[in-house]
Amino acid sequence: MDRGETSLAEDSPTGWSAVEIARRVARGDVSAEEVTRAYVARVVAVNPALNAVVVPLFDSALAEARQVDRARATGGILGPLAGVPVTVKECIDIAGTPSTLGLVPRARERRSRDAAVVTRLRAAGAVIVGKTNASQLLMFPETDNPVYGRTANPWALDRSCGGSSGGEGAIVAAGGSALGIGTDIGGSVRIPASFCGIAALKTTARWLPLEGTGEVLPWLIAIPDTVGPLARSVADLELALRVLARPAEGERPSLTASPVEPRDGSAVVPARLRVGFYEEDGYFPVSAALRRAVREARDVLAAEGAELVPFVPPRIAEIMDVAHALFAADGGRSLARSLRGSPVDPRNQPYVQLSRVPLRALPPSARVLRIAGQARMAGVLATPIPRTAADHTDLVERAAELRRDYLDALESRRIDALLGHPYPLPALPHGASARLSPVQSGTMAFNFLGWPAGVVSVTTVRPEEEASRPESRDLVERTARACDRGSAGLPVAVQIAARPWREDVVLALLRVIERAFAPTMPRPTAV
């Protein structure tokens, strides 16, 4: 196949936004096949270094592109994504392809039908170029598994692209996909976007359909998974949301989605909004570059006329305790069951071990860790995992109380949205997440609440910000200090969150921030 144009230049399709591609294809300025060939060539050029696209669908993508071109030539109706090259996370079903979730036995299986979100993409005219890598069982913020191996960050190949939707973050940032679709139950689209210097949106819980997306914990109704887009611009996130929220003609009824139409984002006036901001949420110390990013974004929103007020996220430690307890409510048995017959990634070993250890043994183990100076890991083991159905009911009721208190904190101060950090560190060195499990409050809080949250990149780490953390005996804090070292030049993002169904507010504020910082944001240099 002709390798074609492989650069990210603005005069190349791989440098255009999804909005621009759809516009040019609809006008006939360029054919969908030309665009698709350019993106396929870009994947071929960068994927050997990244290992992001693990199920290439180049031939079928070109066939889909030709269908778009035929429709345009004959006066057919073109969808809003007509001719736009899209990739989807490996766990999302595409008929005839595997959805392994990093489990070796599933590599032999082929899915019989498309996921609901894939049906909607196809109905909108999207050209699906391939499926991208994810962490095993979608359970940790790196992208690595025994089936496909590890995915690297296009900014620095020795750094992680995040996870679990890390393949999406890497290939979108590298220009091999105009739009990526992932899933997010604890930060899985927002962390990769933050690490890879792009934008992403986690939608309101139970809005978009989950059928065919490889839910790992379908019993975890208290913290539902969500579908979300990743892109190089906020406008592309808005376009993706309009497509993903619209059922396709003849689509099977969904058991997991709410038929809610997206609000018109143009009606949101940032100058009328009151935005709470925080550099730290009080759970785990945030790197200096991320604190600076929040301050700079705060100033941009204030200059736009928004009212910025300091905010302290309420009861964040309790939120994280309850979230961890809900994730482990079955003692890790369902995850351990899923891992049977497959090599287990070391970062998933704790779930296997948890399924084998009596719950009464966890508190003594936590005490030993605390005595050894490992307070943060001790806190994870000390999480009160429910032992009975009554315990679980109490936990769900406590979760409802925490959600009520968080919303009341906004209501009492008339706050419309929140500005903070998505993750307390820039892109991690490969393997570091195994020692950083107790740090994910920035994203997890909004999965717990069920609120929409989006990220956009605003700056890069400065050399003087690499050594801002104090020395510590604690393993987690030592690991974070090591992650900061050598991070100069890596991208840094901020996060905006709002009440349920107010994606329009999230996207409006992300647009303002992007407009201020996009002209100075560099592009990845490792590929």
Q: Which residues are catalytic?
A: 89, 164, 188
Please report, for residues 72, 172, 349, 441, the alpha-carbon distance to residue 192 in angstroms, rounded to integers and kept in the order given. 35, 10, 22, 15
Taking alpha carbons only, the member of 126, 151, 137 closest to residue 183 is: 137
Q: Is 464 helix (H, G, I), strand (E, B) or coil?
A: helix
Taking alpha carbons only, the member of 38, 30, 51 closest to residue 9 is: 38
Contacts (Cβ under 8 Å, ≥6 apart) of 330:
219
What are phi and psi for residue 419, nearest 5 degrees? -120, 125
Strands (E), 95-178: 127-132, 144-145, 149-150, 152-153, 156-160
Cα 393–chain centre separation: 29
Q: Distance (Å, rounded) from C-alpha 188 to C-alpha 444?
A: 10
Contacts (Cβ under 8 Å, ≥6 apart) of 307:
273, 274, 275
- Which of left, alpha, beta for 414 (phi over 0: left; psi -120 to 50: alpha)? left
Taking alpha carbons only, the member of 517, 497, 491 closest to residue 161 is: 491
Which pair of structure tokens corresponds to residue 34? 């030309």
Cα 468–chain centre separation: 27
Q: Are 256 and 206 a contacting pair, CB within 8 Å? A: yes
Taking alpha carbons only, the member of 344, 425, 422 closest to residue 144 is: 344
Q: Are 143 and 90 a contacting pair, CB within 8 Å? A: no
Contacts (Cβ under 8 Å, ≥6 apart) of 361:
none
Which pair of structure tokens corresponds to residue 109? 């299986």
Q: Distance (Å, rounded) from C-alpha 155 to C-alpha 144?
A: 17
Q: Distance (Å, rounded) from C-alpha 525 to C-alpha 136?
A: 27
Give the chain's largest Cα–Cα span.
Answer: 74
Taking alpha carbons only, the member of 125, 117, 217, 107 closest to residue 168 is: 117
Q: Are 91 and 99 a contacting pair, CB within 8 Å? A: yes
Amino acid identity, position 132: T
Which residues are bridge partners to 182 per DSSP? 228
